[in-house]
Structure 1
């Protein structure tokens, strides 16, 4: 009786119940009304949902990201990249994208990337004459790289849900993540030209020479080395993604001690913030195990696959339908719970059409991540509003050109996987 699952989920969502309770509640309602299974299966599935070694990578990557942000590398990266790109049109806007790309390779989450870069960059861009809503829209769009460039928490969740290699997913996310940055940069250029923006010259205190330039270059290399360490270690078979997360934390601690910017007070703040974010993710992950059990019992994934096959036998048409569904789901939901909900339903159908699970994972994460910045309910938009004080109406208008450009990129990657999958050969 799949109708009980669908009705229970929609009913709880309409009541405004917290998402973790919606997920576990839907499974619980189905178990009580449609199966002879005892309620002890709920407790068992909650434990099984978290009993996975791979999931240890999530709290470790979160902690590493917070540690690197607390060290204060954002300002140092901005100073160097601003100087290096001083002769490029709209240089500071492009600096914001590059810094987001670097921090995307550290934080693994779009919201963390947006907060870390936005707090520093938005006032800087406004001082240089950029419109405030344009600055916020640029950084919001660029922050989406944080969910795609390795280490990516959404890829970890998808890998656990689909039993797909997280290492392969990380490798597959490199080129799409970089292309997000390139797309935002091109959009920046076009929009600024239309606005007639004039790039200001550097102030004397922003010019780097001699010792200052060497110090800034060193600081940038320190920040850049973390994603290189993570990806290089995984590609080289030196360590697993979970072990890479532990290495990232160790590296971030060393950087904090070397810079002497990590004291006891800051360390406690980082630990508290990491625990809160990790707990939010893990509660949803544990709850998903109950829902997944109910989905398997109801045969809803098989029914969806059979329905799709009855509608069309074209892989292209299926991918188009799946992409539309993912974009719609990604608007009200964050990528992590959305992946947990849609993967067990859509992945069996994708496999029936011969779609590679890694490619479907890339499409899923790209589409759901795009929803983070899609008006009017994208979660990243609310983060951007809180740090910039730009109203939702103005921000929605400013971010739409970036959403359209990134949607075109998502469609391209969906139907031309050769753009990135040569890395997996």
Structure 2
């Protein structure tokens, strides 16, 4: 009964648009008071959750992405990809995906990618004759590669909660992210063939050389960050700090990062980090309450009465993430659900790394689905397009994302191949 009332209170607050962190925190504090727990105990739980050392990497990765954005790296990558693929029919569709993959090595946030790349990709595609739905839908879907491809902020959060290796989770995420990118390219190929007005361009050697010069230094960032982590030279937190310093240096050397841009990057980092940490803290208190009410044990017993198959368990997890991801922020779901699902996954002998990759990919699809659909709203704002129009444009691109999720469920060993090769 207590759990039912708690869930109802949270649902009502979310429906009336109370921010997720406060929708979790308010009912949780009321529960603590009703069961005789002190507010001091609640405060300790909240502060301990936010004071986790692995989470120190989050603000640094946020800063890394913000600096890359204000240093104009997105525009440089777009220009380079456009020069390389000039002779390919429908090249701007592939350029959008390639730019998103390149920028994702420096940004672990779909929202940051949608904002930074959408300003460049969408106007260029519309000007070249691509439909507005196609342009906004593709830009939104391609932005989802960032939270999957390392360095990934959701991966850092999951690894900290599950006491798993961040490096192993990063390595395991590479293949699913590339599968997503290839799948999006297939959809672009199909849609472009239906538009005879789109023609290939002409390769310009001078433009290619000029754009290559602009991306040489930024493209070393992934080697610095991921090479340092996977090679054992840095911890993820240290790699995030080194990466942010490197991008700052690139911005200064290329004279593309102004003092105003640097200060804006710091401001964005503070706001984003504050939002994430507030959600982490409030969700951790709610997670403590759910554990106190023995919800994980009840779910374990229920699931084992339904199926004993690890694949079916992963399928149920994916469905749950898809449903929750449409109404609740992905960070809140990770913090809330990971401590519940992890013990169950271990009973099914599911590798925590596989569970983490599946949860992240499934939750990212929620960023493209109403009513929350954060990426939809960002793209709509950037492109000055109605949200419904953006969603309709994104629908075809949801197919390869769902296919990627299904492949993770059916072939979990493939996810662990790269971590195995790297000895992680």
Please report the TM-score for the alignment, with normalisation by the length of structure 2.
0.94
Partner of 2:361: 366
Partners of 2:43 and 2:180 in 1: CA distance: 41
Partner of 2:139: 139
Whether contact under 8 Å (1:330, 1:338) holds in the other structure is yes
Q: Which runs of 5+ in 1 are unaligned?
A: none
Partner of 1:234: 229
Partners of 1:84 and 1:183 in 2: CA distance: 20
Cα RMSD of the aligned pairs, angstroms, is 1.7
Partners of 1:8 and 1:301 in 2: CA distance: 20
Whether contact under 8 Å (2:67, 2:248) holds in the other structure is yes
Partners of 1:123 and 1:85 in 2: CA distance: 18
Is 1:19 matched with 2:20?
yes
Whether contact under 8 Å (1:169, 1:362) holds in the other structure is yes
* Matching of residues 108-119 of structure 1 within 5 Å: 108-119=108-119
Kindly state the Cα deviation for residue 311 of structure 1 after the two structures are TM-superposed: 1.9
Whether contact under 8 Å (2:291, 2:340) holds in the other structure is no
Partner of 1:53: 53
Residue from 276, 285, 288 that aligns with 2:280: 285
Change over 3 Å in CA distance of 1:47–1:243 after alignment to 2 = same
Is 1:299 matched with 2:300?
no
Whether contact under 8 Å (1:148, 1:366) holds in the other structure is yes
Kindly state the Cα deviation for residue 282 of structure 1 after the two structures are TM-superposed: 0.9
- Between 1:379-388 and 1:311-320, the stretch displaced more is 311-320
Whether contact under 8 Å (2:88, 2:201) holds in the other structure is no
Whether contact under 8 Å (2:77, 2:99) holds in the other structure is yes
Map Cα deviations across residues 27-81 of structure 1 (whole Å, 9 max, x no partner): 2232222x33222111111210122111111111111111111111222222221
Count, aligned residues: 419
Is 1:96 matched with 2:96?
yes
Partners of 1:25 and 1:167 in 2: CA distance: 35
Residue from 326, 335, 342 that aligns with 1:347: 342
Partner of 2:187: 187
Whether contact under 8 Å (2:83, 2:208) holds in the other structure is no
Residue from 254, 259, 269 that aligns with 1:259: 254
- Between 1:333-342 and 1:270-279, the stretch displaced more is 333-342
Kindly state the Cα deviation for residue 134 of structure 1 after the two structures are TM-superposed: 0.4
Q: Which runs of 5+ in 2 are unaligned?
A: none
Partner of 1:77: 77
Whether contact under 8 Å (1:109, 1:147) holds in the other structure is yes
Kindly state the Cα deviation for residue 132 of structure 1 after the two structures are TM-superposed: 1.4
Is 1:222 matched with 2:217?
yes
Please report the TM-score for the alignment, with normalisation by the length of structure 1.
0.94
Whether contact under 8 Å (2:367, 2:375) holds in the other structure is yes
SS in 2 for 1:196: coil
Partners of 1:32 and 1:345 in 2: CA distance: 23
Partners of 1:82 and 1:345 in 2: CA distance: 45
Partner of 2:351: 356
Partner of 1:334: 329
Map Cα deviations across residues 115-163 of structure 1 (whole Å, 9 max, x no partner): 1111011111111111111011111111000110111111111112222
